[in-house]
Structure 1
Amino acid sequence: MKTQLQGFGDRFFKVAVYIAKRPPMLPWQDLDYLHSLQVGQIDSINKTCGNGWRKVFNVYAKVLFALPSEHYSFAKYAPSWQQYRDEFLLQKNSNTALLFSAPDLGAAKQLHIIAGRTHAKNLLPQIKLTGQLNWLDDEFAISQQDNLIVCPYFDYRQLSNIKIARLSQLVATLKNK
Protein backbone atom coordinates (compact mmCIF):
# COMPACT_ATOMS: atom_id res chain seq x y z
CA MET A 1 0.00 0.00 0.00
CA LYS A 2 1.40 3.37 -1.03
CA THR A 3 1.80 6.01 1.67
CA GLN A 4 -0.28 9.18 1.28
CA LEU A 5 2.23 12.03 1.11
CA GLN A 6 1.45 14.92 3.42
CA GLY A 7 3.31 18.18 3.21
CA PHE A 8 4.46 20.89 0.88
CA GLY A 9 5.96 20.63 -2.58
CA ASP A 10 5.95 19.12 -6.02
CA ARG A 11 4.40 15.68 -6.48
CA PHE A 12 7.25 14.89 -8.91
CA PHE A 13 9.92 15.69 -6.33
CA LYS A 14 13.52 14.59 -6.73
CA VAL A 15 14.46 15.67 -3.20
CA ALA A 16 12.23 15.19 -0.16
CA VAL A 17 12.98 16.32 3.36
CA TYR A 18 10.99 14.74 6.19
CA ILE A 19 10.34 16.67 9.40
CA ALA A 20 8.24 15.83 12.43
CA LYS A 21 6.15 18.95 12.93
CA ARG A 22 3.87 21.00 10.72
CA PRO A 23 3.63 24.77 10.85
CA PRO A 24 1.20 25.67 13.64
CA MET A 25 -1.29 27.36 11.31
CA LEU A 26 -4.85 26.30 10.65
CA PRO A 27 -4.54 25.53 6.95
CA TRP A 28 -1.59 23.18 7.57
CA GLN A 29 -2.56 21.33 10.77
CA ASP A 30 -4.94 18.96 8.99
CA LEU A 31 -3.15 18.82 5.64
CA ASP A 32 -3.53 15.25 4.34
CA TYR A 33 -2.08 15.66 0.85
CA LEU A 34 0.91 17.21 -0.92
CA HIS A 35 0.28 20.94 -1.38
CA SER A 36 2.38 22.97 -3.83
CA LEU A 37 3.20 26.29 -2.23
CA GLN A 38 2.67 29.56 -4.06
CA VAL A 39 5.04 32.53 -4.16
CA GLY A 40 4.71 34.31 -0.81
CA GLN A 41 3.46 31.35 1.24
CA ILE A 42 6.88 30.60 2.74
CA ASP A 43 7.10 34.23 3.86
CA SER A 44 3.58 34.00 5.31
CA ILE A 45 4.49 30.85 7.28
CA ASN A 46 7.69 32.54 8.50
CA LYS A 47 5.81 35.64 9.70
CA THR A 48 3.10 33.63 11.44
CA CYS A 49 5.13 30.74 12.85
CA GLY A 50 8.40 32.44 13.70
CA ASN A 51 12.11 31.94 13.46
CA GLY A 52 12.07 28.13 13.70
CA TRP A 53 10.24 27.83 10.39
CA ARG A 54 12.41 30.52 8.80
CA LYS A 55 15.41 28.35 9.66
CA VAL A 56 13.83 25.22 8.15
CA PHE A 57 13.16 26.95 4.82
CA ASN A 58 16.52 28.74 4.77
CA VAL A 59 18.50 25.58 5.53
CA TYR A 60 16.49 23.62 2.95
CA ALA A 61 17.37 26.17 0.25
CA LYS A 62 21.02 26.19 1.34
CA VAL A 63 21.13 22.38 1.19
CA LEU A 64 19.72 22.39 -2.35
CA PHE A 65 22.33 24.91 -3.45
CA ALA A 66 25.09 22.73 -1.93
CA LEU A 67 24.04 19.50 -3.66
CA PRO A 68 26.46 18.21 -6.32
CA SER A 69 25.79 20.25 -9.49
CA GLU A 70 26.53 17.26 -11.73
CA HIS A 71 23.40 15.59 -10.32
CA TYR A 72 21.13 18.47 -9.25
CA SER A 73 20.46 21.79 -10.97
CA PHE A 74 18.70 23.75 -8.21
CA ALA A 75 21.45 26.39 -8.12
CA LYS A 76 20.86 27.14 -11.81
CA TYR A 77 17.32 28.43 -11.19
CA ALA A 78 18.31 31.50 -9.16
CA PRO A 79 21.46 33.49 -8.41
CA SER A 80 21.17 32.90 -4.64
CA TRP A 81 19.66 30.39 -2.26
CA GLN A 82 17.50 33.20 -0.86
CA GLN A 83 15.96 33.93 -4.24
CA TYR A 84 15.52 30.20 -4.89
CA ARG A 85 13.71 29.86 -1.56
CA ASP A 86 11.35 32.74 -2.35
CA GLU A 87 10.62 31.93 -5.99
CA PHE A 88 10.89 28.13 -6.38
CA LEU A 89 11.21 26.08 -3.17
CA LEU A 90 8.32 23.64 -2.61
CA GLN A 91 6.31 24.99 -5.54
CA LYS A 92 4.89 23.13 -8.50
CA ASN A 93 7.68 21.92 -10.83
CA SER A 94 10.33 22.63 -8.15
CA ASN A 95 11.25 18.93 -7.77
CA THR A 96 11.27 19.48 -4.00
CA ALA A 97 9.05 18.40 -1.10
CA LEU A 98 8.89 18.96 2.65
CA LEU A 99 6.94 16.05 4.07
CA PHE A 100 5.28 15.38 7.41
CA SER A 101 4.48 11.76 6.46
CA ALA A 102 6.74 8.70 6.39
CA PRO A 103 8.97 8.14 3.35
CA ASP A 104 7.78 5.93 0.52
CA LEU A 105 11.07 4.64 -0.84
CA GLY A 106 9.57 3.11 -3.98
CA ALA A 107 11.12 5.52 -6.49
CA ALA A 108 14.86 4.90 -6.65
CA LYS A 109 15.67 8.23 -8.30
CA GLN A 110 14.33 10.28 -5.40
CA LEU A 111 16.61 11.51 -2.63
CA HIS A 112 15.09 11.15 0.84
CA ILE A 113 16.50 13.19 3.74
CA ILE A 114 15.14 12.74 7.25
CA ALA A 115 15.85 15.81 9.37
CA GLY A 116 16.72 14.78 12.90
CA ARG A 117 17.89 11.57 14.53
CA THR A 118 14.90 11.31 16.86
CA HIS A 119 12.47 11.78 13.98
CA ALA A 120 14.33 9.12 11.98
CA LYS A 121 14.13 6.63 14.84
CA ASN A 122 10.38 7.30 15.14
CA LEU A 123 9.89 6.81 11.39
CA LEU A 124 12.02 3.67 10.96
CA PRO A 125 9.29 1.21 11.99
CA GLN A 126 7.07 2.70 9.22
CA ILE A 127 9.70 2.60 6.46
CA LYS A 128 10.27 -0.41 4.21
CA LEU A 129 14.02 -0.30 3.71
CA THR A 130 15.48 -2.48 0.99
CA GLY A 131 18.98 -1.94 2.35
CA GLN A 132 20.52 -1.29 5.73
CA LEU A 133 20.60 2.10 7.41
CA ASN A 134 24.20 2.61 8.51
CA TRP A 135 24.83 5.16 11.25
CA LEU A 136 28.07 7.00 10.44
CA ASP A 137 28.07 8.85 13.77
CA ASP A 138 25.52 10.35 16.18
CA GLU A 139 24.11 12.68 13.50
CA PHE A 140 24.34 11.09 10.06
CA ALA A 141 23.10 7.78 8.68
CA ILE A 142 22.81 6.49 5.13
CA SER A 143 21.09 3.72 3.23
CA GLN A 144 22.64 3.64 -0.23
CA GLN A 145 20.11 1.16 -1.61
CA ASP A 146 17.21 3.40 -0.55
CA ASN A 147 18.71 6.82 -1.41
CA LEU A 148 18.05 7.76 2.20
CA ILE A 149 20.12 10.00 4.47
CA VAL A 150 19.48 10.99 8.07
CA CYS A 151 21.03 14.31 9.07
CA PRO A 152 20.66 16.87 11.86
CA TYR A 153 17.45 18.91 12.02
CA PHE A 154 17.21 21.85 9.62
CA ASP A 155 18.39 24.53 12.04
CA TYR A 156 21.56 26.65 11.74
CA ARG A 157 23.03 25.33 14.99
CA GLN A 158 22.30 21.69 14.25
CA LEU A 159 22.95 21.68 10.49
CA SER A 160 25.74 24.24 10.15
CA ASN A 161 27.41 25.10 6.85
CA ILE A 162 30.11 22.50 7.55
CA LYS A 163 27.45 19.83 8.11
CA ILE A 164 25.59 20.96 4.97
CA ALA A 165 28.83 20.33 3.06
CA ARG A 166 29.04 16.86 4.63
CA LEU A 167 25.43 16.17 3.65
CA SER A 168 26.30 17.17 0.08
CA GLN A 169 29.23 14.74 0.11
CA LEU A 170 26.94 11.95 1.28
CA VAL A 171 24.51 12.74 -1.54
CA ALA A 172 27.42 12.52 -3.98
CA THR A 173 28.26 9.04 -2.66
CA LEU A 174 24.66 7.97 -3.28
CA LYS A 175 24.76 9.30 -6.83
CA ASN A 176 28.12 7.68 -7.56
CA LYS A 177 27.20 4.23 -6.23
Structure 2
Amino acid sequence: MLKCLPELLLSNDMKILPLPACGFGDSTALIRVYISRPPPMAEYADLQTVQALHIGEIALINQACGNGWRKVFNVYAKLLFALNAKPFTFSRQAVSWQQYRDRRLLQAGSGTALLFSEPQLQQTANTIHIITGRTYAKTLTEAGLPAQLYWLNSEFAMDKVNRLLVCPYFDYRQLNNEKLVFLAQLIKELDE
Protein backbone atom coordinates (compact mmCIF):
# COMPACT_ATOMS: atom_id res chain seq x y z
CA MET A 1 0.00 0.00 0.00
CA LEU A 2 1.25 3.47 -0.87
CA LYS A 3 2.26 5.34 2.26
CA CYS A 4 1.53 8.84 0.99
CA LEU A 5 -2.15 8.50 0.19
CA PRO A 6 -4.21 11.46 1.34
CA GLU A 7 -4.11 11.24 5.12
CA LEU A 8 -3.64 13.85 7.81
CA LEU A 9 -1.03 14.45 10.49
CA LEU A 10 -1.17 16.66 13.57
CA SER A 11 1.60 19.22 14.07
CA ASN A 12 2.94 20.20 17.52
CA ASP A 13 0.33 22.94 17.79
CA MET A 14 -2.42 20.43 16.81
CA LYS A 15 -2.96 21.87 13.32
CA ILE A 16 -3.88 19.32 10.68
CA LEU A 17 -1.14 18.97 8.07
CA PRO A 18 -1.11 16.93 4.85
CA LEU A 19 1.48 14.20 4.50
CA PRO A 20 4.47 15.09 2.35
CA ALA A 21 4.08 14.68 -1.38
CA CYS A 22 5.11 11.48 -3.06
CA GLY A 23 5.54 10.70 -6.69
CA PHE A 24 7.96 11.17 -9.54
CA GLY A 25 9.92 14.23 -10.56
CA ASP A 26 11.32 17.43 -9.15
CA SER A 27 10.36 18.07 -5.52
CA THR A 28 10.26 21.83 -6.25
CA ALA A 29 8.24 21.45 -9.47
CA LEU A 30 6.23 24.35 -10.81
CA ILE A 31 3.92 22.04 -12.81
CA ARG A 32 2.46 19.35 -10.55
CA VAL A 33 0.14 16.76 -12.02
CA TYR A 34 -1.88 14.58 -9.65
CA ILE A 35 -2.96 11.08 -10.59
CA SER A 36 -4.72 8.59 -8.35
CA ARG A 37 -2.11 5.82 -8.19
CA PRO A 38 1.46 4.96 -9.11
CA PRO A 39 2.49 2.38 -11.69
CA PRO A 40 1.93 -1.13 -10.29
CA MET A 41 5.61 -1.95 -9.89
CA ALA A 42 7.41 -3.25 -6.82
CA GLU A 43 10.00 -0.45 -7.12
CA TYR A 44 7.32 2.15 -6.37
CA ALA A 45 5.13 0.26 -3.87
CA ASP A 46 6.60 2.03 -0.81
CA LEU A 47 7.26 5.43 -2.35
CA GLN A 48 7.21 8.07 0.41
CA THR A 49 8.84 11.08 -1.26
CA VAL A 50 9.14 12.73 -4.63
CA GLN A 51 11.66 10.62 -6.50
CA ALA A 52 13.43 12.02 -9.56
CA LEU A 53 13.34 9.65 -12.49
CA HIS A 54 16.45 8.87 -14.53
CA ILE A 55 16.93 8.70 -18.28
CA GLY A 56 15.33 5.48 -19.49
CA GLU A 57 13.10 4.99 -16.44
CA ILE A 58 9.95 6.18 -18.23
CA ALA A 59 10.62 3.60 -20.95
CA LEU A 60 11.01 0.90 -18.29
CA ILE A 61 7.68 1.88 -16.69
CA ASN A 62 6.01 1.83 -20.10
CA GLN A 63 7.44 -1.61 -20.85
CA ALA A 64 6.36 -3.03 -17.49
CA CYS A 65 2.95 -1.36 -17.19
CA GLY A 66 1.69 -1.01 -20.73
CA ASN A 67 0.00 1.49 -22.95
CA GLY A 68 -1.89 3.38 -20.25
CA TRP A 69 1.28 4.67 -18.62
CA ARG A 70 2.84 5.46 -22.00
CA LYS A 71 -0.17 7.71 -22.70
CA VAL A 72 0.19 9.49 -19.33
CA PHE A 73 3.84 10.37 -20.00
CA ASN A 74 3.17 11.31 -23.64
CA VAL A 75 0.26 13.60 -22.80
CA TYR A 76 2.26 15.26 -20.01
CA ALA A 77 5.16 15.99 -22.38
CA LYS A 78 2.80 17.22 -25.12
CA LEU A 79 1.12 19.57 -22.62
CA LEU A 80 4.47 21.09 -21.64
CA PHE A 81 5.27 21.72 -25.29
CA ALA A 82 1.87 23.38 -25.81
CA LEU A 83 2.68 26.01 -23.16
CA ASN A 84 3.94 29.45 -24.11
CA ALA A 85 7.75 29.31 -24.32
CA LYS A 86 8.20 32.73 -22.69
CA PRO A 87 7.20 31.93 -19.10
CA PHE A 88 7.69 28.17 -19.49
CA THR A 89 11.00 26.93 -20.88
CA PHE A 90 10.07 23.28 -21.48
CA SER A 91 9.92 23.59 -25.27
CA ARG A 92 13.37 25.21 -25.30
CA GLN A 93 14.97 22.26 -23.50
CA ALA A 94 14.47 19.74 -26.32
CA VAL A 95 13.68 19.69 -30.04
CA SER A 96 10.43 17.71 -29.59
CA TRP A 97 8.03 16.64 -26.90
CA GLN A 98 9.26 13.07 -27.40
CA GLN A 99 12.85 14.07 -26.72
CA TYR A 100 11.76 16.12 -23.69
CA ARG A 101 9.82 13.13 -22.34
CA ASP A 102 12.84 10.84 -22.72
CA ARG A 103 15.55 13.22 -21.50
CA ARG A 104 13.98 15.67 -19.01
CA LEU A 105 10.40 14.86 -17.93
CA LEU A 106 10.11 14.11 -14.19
CA GLN A 107 13.86 14.30 -13.63
CA ALA A 108 15.73 16.39 -11.05
CA GLY A 109 15.59 20.07 -11.97
CA SER A 110 12.91 19.54 -14.63
CA GLY A 111 10.27 21.66 -12.89
CA THR A 112 7.78 18.81 -13.36
CA ALA A 113 6.20 16.29 -11.01
CA LEU A 114 3.66 13.48 -11.28
CA LEU A 115 2.25 13.01 -7.79
CA PHE A 116 0.21 10.26 -6.18
CA SER A 117 -0.61 12.29 -3.06
CA GLU A 118 -3.04 15.05 -2.21
CA PRO A 119 -2.19 18.54 -3.53
CA GLN A 120 -0.49 20.74 -0.95
CA LEU A 121 -2.12 24.00 -1.96
CA GLN A 122 -0.93 26.22 0.89
CA GLN A 123 2.71 26.06 -0.30
CA THR A 124 2.18 27.30 -3.83
CA ALA A 125 3.27 30.78 -4.78
CA ASN A 126 4.00 29.97 -8.46
CA THR A 127 3.07 26.31 -8.59
CA ILE A 128 0.39 25.08 -10.96
CA HIS A 129 -1.57 22.04 -9.76
CA ILE A 130 -3.41 19.81 -12.24
CA ILE A 131 -5.70 17.02 -11.04
CA THR A 132 -6.32 14.42 -13.73
CA GLY A 133 -9.90 13.27 -13.86
CA ARG A 134 -13.17 14.64 -12.55
CA THR A 135 -13.77 11.56 -10.38
CA TYR A 136 -10.35 11.87 -8.73
CA ALA A 137 -10.93 15.59 -8.13
CA LYS A 138 -14.30 14.81 -6.53
CA THR A 139 -12.66 12.18 -4.30
CA LEU A 140 -10.01 14.68 -3.18
CA THR A 141 -12.50 17.47 -2.45
CA GLU A 142 -14.79 15.10 -0.52
CA ALA A 143 -11.72 14.06 1.52
CA GLY A 144 -11.16 17.70 2.49
CA LEU A 145 -9.01 19.27 -0.21
CA PRO A 146 -9.45 23.01 0.50
CA ALA A 147 -10.30 24.05 -3.05
CA GLN A 148 -13.10 26.15 -4.49
CA LEU A 149 -13.53 24.60 -7.92
CA TYR A 150 -15.41 26.53 -10.58
CA TRP A 151 -16.50 24.10 -13.29
CA LEU A 152 -15.96 25.61 -16.74
CA ASN A 153 -17.68 22.66 -18.42
CA SER A 154 -18.22 18.98 -17.64
CA GLU A 155 -14.48 18.18 -17.82
CA PHE A 156 -12.50 21.24 -16.73
CA ALA A 157 -12.50 23.16 -13.46
CA MET A 158 -10.38 25.97 -12.05
CA ASP A 159 -9.52 27.42 -8.67
CA LYS A 160 -7.55 30.59 -9.44
CA VAL A 161 -6.69 31.33 -5.82
CA ASN A 162 -4.98 27.98 -5.35
CA ARG A 163 -3.71 27.79 -8.97
CA LEU A 164 -5.49 24.48 -9.35
CA LEU A 165 -6.97 22.94 -12.48
CA VAL A 166 -8.99 19.80 -13.09
CA CYS A 167 -8.83 18.22 -16.51
CA PRO A 168 -9.60 14.87 -18.14
CA TYR A 169 -7.29 11.97 -17.36
CA PHE A 170 -4.01 12.03 -19.29
CA ASP A 171 -5.10 9.74 -22.13
CA TYR A 172 -5.40 10.60 -25.84
CA ARG A 173 -9.10 9.81 -25.97
CA GLN A 174 -9.99 11.77 -22.84
CA LEU A 175 -7.52 14.66 -23.28
CA ASN A 176 -7.25 14.94 -27.06
CA ASN A 177 -5.21 17.63 -28.83
CA GLU A 178 -8.05 20.17 -28.80
CA LYS A 179 -8.58 19.72 -25.06
CA LEU A 180 -4.82 19.81 -24.50
CA VAL A 181 -4.67 23.25 -26.13
CA PHE A 182 -7.58 24.35 -23.91
CA LEU A 183 -5.70 23.13 -20.81
CA ALA A 184 -2.59 25.04 -21.91
CA GLN A 185 -4.75 28.18 -22.25
CA LEU A 186 -6.09 27.67 -18.70
CA ILE A 187 -2.53 27.41 -17.41
CA LYS A 188 -1.71 30.68 -19.17
CA GLU A 189 -4.75 32.30 -17.47
CA LEU A 190 -3.41 31.23 -14.07
CA ASP A 191 -0.12 32.97 -14.85
CA GLU A 192 -1.73 36.29 -15.84
Where 2:99 maps in the other structure, the secondary structure is: helix
User: CA contact under 8 A between 2:18 and 2:118: conserved in structure 1?
Assistant: no
Match of 1:100 in 2: 116
Deviation at 1:2, TM superposition (A): 4.6
1:128-176 CA distances to partner (integer Å, 9 max, x unpaired)? 23xx210011100000111100000000000000000000111111111
Where 2:32 maps in the other structure, the secondary structure is: strand
Match of 2:138 in 1: 121
Match of 1:48 in 2: 64
The 1-side partners of 2:103 and 2:86 are apart by: 22
The 2-side partners of 1:121 and 1:7 are apart by: 20
Match of 2:48 in 1: 32
Question: Which amino acid counterpart does residue 162 of structure 1 have in structure 2?
Answer: E
Matched, 1:109 2:98: no
The 1-side partners of 2:31 and 2:120 are apart by: 12
Question: Which amino acid counterpart does residue 145 of structure 2 have in structure 1?
Answer: I
- Structure 2 unaligned residues grouped into runs of 5+: 1-16
**What is the TM-score with the length of structure 1 in the denominator?**
0.95
**What is the TM-score with the length of structure 2 in the denominator?**
0.88
Match of 2:92 in 1: 76
The 2-side partners of 1:58 and 1:151 are apart by: 16
Aligned length: 174
User: CA contact under 8 A between 1:116 and 1:150: conserved in structure 2?
Assistant: yes
User: CA contact under 8 A between 2:159 and 2:165: conserved in structure 1?
Assistant: yes
The 2-side partners of 1:76 and 1:127 are apart by: 34
Question: Which amino acid counterpart does residue 167 of structure 2 have in structure 1?
Answer: C
2:101 aligns with one of 80, 85, 91: 85
The 2-side partners of 1:2 and 1:95 are apart by: 22
Where 2:161 maps in the other structure, the secondary structure is: helix
Matched, 1:20 2:36: yes
- Structure 1 unaligned residues grouped into runs of 5+: none
Q: Which has the larger radius of gyration?
A: 2
Question: Which amino acid counterpart does residue 125 of structure 2 have in structure 1?
Answer: A
Matched, 1:150 2:177: no
Most deviating of 85-94 and 106-115: 106-115
User: CA contact under 8 A between 1:102 and 1:126: conserved in structure 2?
Assistant: no
The 1-side partners of 2:179 and 2:20 are apart by: 30
